[in-house]
Structure 1
Amino acid sequence: MVIPVHDVNPVRRTPWVTYALIAANVVVFLSIPGMAGSVAGDSGLAQLCHLQAFLDQYAVVPRELIHHQMPRLVPNGEIAVGPQGPGCLVGPPGYDKSPELSVLTAMFLHGGWLHLLGNMLFLLIFGNNVEDRMGHVRFALFYGVCGYAASYGFALLNNESGEPLIGASGAVAGVLGAYLALYPKARVWVLVPFLIFLPLRLPAWLVLGFWFVLQAVYSSGEGVSAAGTVAYAAHIVGFIAGLLLAWPLRPGTPPPPEPRGLLFGRRARPRNTW
């Protein structure tokens, strides 16, 4: 696995939509009931019950999205004490949920700091150039379309699942697909864990192509022990959607600057010429 840290691809305009999306994701994450306690290491049962009730209302549930089968009983955020000990109290839902709208709200929910920071890092590095090429409004619409495509794609493949789906990963995957279509030769600085974190400057097609192959492998259940906890299929669908949507913009996209003087983290020696 490689960790991107910077791309050699300057932008012409400030990526306000990218910055706004990152800020919105961080604010929502810190505002989720029960999440603040879990981040601080104090995840009591009451906090977990509140969090579960919140996610049932605002996260995507594939069965609800495809079949519109709303559950009869959901956690209401309270604690119940039964024969097997305390647990979350369930009851009829006290809200009207729109499965279609939940796709949008779920795109701003994350399960932890690593989930959030990973998505926002990729969005920050690759989203600014895609927004620069598309423009602010079109990029915002593109981001939403990729998120919806990823959620619906995952739901179609898991249409009987009642597990909540959250995160901006599908939309961010669409941004990666668009970057690959528009700037395949752009150079990206990455950290490769090899005894130490080795800095390398690699072409975008290699970095993003490797990322996509990993998602495909993990989606099949190979190479990961808990494939069911991450919606890798949503990443794949979002990536392909972004790639296809951005492909028509390739002819008018100026090529990224060719970096000179540095190679794989070291200054290249000048060659003699004849």
Structure 2
Amino acid sequence: MVIPVHDVNPARRTPYVTYALIAASVLVFLLTPGAEGAAGGESHVAQLCQLHAFMDHYAAIPREMIHHQLPRLVPTGQVGTGVAGPGCVMGVPGYDKSPALSVVTAMFLHGGWLHLLGNMLFLLIFGNNVEDRMGHVRFALFYLVCGYAASYGFALLNADSGDPLIGASGAIAGVLGAYLVLYPKARVWVLVPFLIFLPLRLPAWIVLGFWFGLQAVYSSGRGVEAGSGTVAYAAHVVGFVAGMLLAWPLKAGTPPPPEPGRLLFGRRARHRQAW
């Protein structure tokens, strides 16, 4: 897996929507019950019960999205003691929930620092140029549509699943698909893990094409260890394809990215530097 760190494709205007999405995602994560414990890996039972209750309330649940029915019992956030020891108390839902609107709230929820930072890194690198090409309002709508397409695409394939679907990955996958269509020749600096992290400057079509290929392979169940799959790879695939289709009408009028020349992480180097 390659890690993108910068693209050589300057935007003409400030990506306010991209920055707002990143700020909102970080803020929601910090306000999520159990976020501190999730960051340190030391969540105790009370934090876990609060987190489960919070996720059941605000996350997108495929079974709820497809069948439009809330479960009879959900975690209340309280801790109880049973024969097997302390555990989460289950009770009747004390809230009204719209499964369709939960897709929006779920896009700002993340399961840990690694999940959050990985998503925000991709959004920061590729979102600014897509927003620059679409404009602020259209980009916001585009992001929302891709998120819905990814979430419902995954839900249709897992209609009976009661596991929470969280994260901005589906919407961000749409951003990556749009970037591939609009700027396939833009150069992207990436770190390739090979004994050490090797910095390389590659065309976007290689970086994003490789990323999409991995998601497609993983979504089929190949290359993923049994019992370890907690990532909604199918949502990534659907979101990516949706982003490509939505961006395609804009391709003809998109100016090509600037020639990178001898650039070092987007800045012209005055002399050679050793890595």
TM-score bracket, normalised by the shorter chain, equals over 0.9
8 A Cα contact 1:221 1:227, kept in partner: no
Q: Which amino acid aligns with 1:17?
A: V
C-alpha distance in 2 between matches for 1:261 and 1:105: 43
1:127-150, CA deviations, whole angstroms, 9 ceiling, x for partnerless residues? 000000000000000000000000
Segments of 5+ residues of structure 1 without an aligned counterpart are 268-274
4+ runs of 1 displaced by more than 6 Å? Answer: none
Alignment match, 1:241? 242
Q: CA deviation at 1:263?
A: 9.2
- The answer to whether the aligner puts 1:52 opposite 2:52 as a matched pair is yes
**Residues 98 and 264 (structure 1 numbering): CA distance in 2 closer, same or farther, change over 3 Å?**
closer
Q: CA deviation at 1:16?
A: 0.5
**Residues 97 and 195 (structure 1 numbering): CA distance in 2 closer, same or farther, change over 3 Å?**
same
8 A Cα contact 2:65 2:100, kept in partner: yes
Alignment match, 1:66? 66
Segments of 5+ residues of structure 2 without an aligned counterpart are 270-275
Q: Which amino acid aligns with 1:256?
A: P
Pairs within 5 Å for 1:106-145? 106-145=106-145
Alignment match, 1:229? 230
Alignment match, 2:94? 94
Alignment match, 2:163? 163
C-alpha distance in 2 between matches for 1:142 and 1:9: 20
Does the residue aligned with 1:150 lie in a helix, a strand or coil?
A: helix
8 A Cα contact 2:61 2:163, kept in partner: yes
- The answer to whether the aligner puts 1:10 opposite 2:38 as a matched pair is no
**Residues 26 and 162 (structure 1 numbering): CA distance in 2 closer, same or farther, change over 3 Å?**
same
C-alpha distance in 2 between matches for 1:12 and 1:108: 27
Q: CA deviation at 1:42?
A: 3.2
Q: CA deviation at 1:261?
A: 2.4
TM-score (normalised: structure 2): 0.94
- The answer to whether the aligner puts 1:152 opposite 2:152 as a matched pair is yes
8 A Cα contact 2:7 2:265, kept in partner: no
TM-score (normalised: structure 1): 0.94
Task: Count how many residue pairs are aligned between Structure 1 and Structure 2.
Answer: 267
Q: Which amino acid aligns with 1:87?
A: G
C-alpha distance in 1 between matches for 2:72 and 2:55: 16
Q: CA deviation at 1:40?
A: 3.6
Deviates more, 1:31-40 or 1:111-120: 31-40
Does the residue aligned with 1:159 lie in a helix, a strand or coil?
A: coil
C-alpha distance in 2 between matches for 1:134 and 1:223: 36
Alignment match, 2:37? 37
Root-mean-square deviation over aligned CA pairs: 1.6
C-alpha distance in 2 between matches for 1:263 and 1:36: 37
